[in-house]
Amino acid sequence: MYPIGSNTNSYYDSEKTKISGKSGALTTKEMKQQASFQGWDFDNIWTIQEGVDYPKLRSLQK
């Protein structure tokens, strides 16, 4: 059995999934804006092309 915990600062595209009103729901436009991702470290861990793509892990970028 896996421990039950809370997930914080997790987000998903509510337009693509067709699921809205849940915690972490963002529009596609919001998913492409750094300001939408509260608590995420865009200096060291994440990178984003504003208005173009979702956040990506820096360690996976070439």
Amino acid at residue number 55: P
pLDDT digits (tens, 9 = 90+) for 5-51: 566 789 999 999 998 778 899 999 999 999 999 999 999 999 999 99
Q: How confident is the model at residue 7, as a pLDDT?
A: 66
- Chain center to CA of 54: 7
Q: What is the pTM of this model?
A: 0.80
Residues 10-33: b if buried by 16+ CB within 10 A, e if exposed: ebebbeeeeeeeeeeebeeeebbe
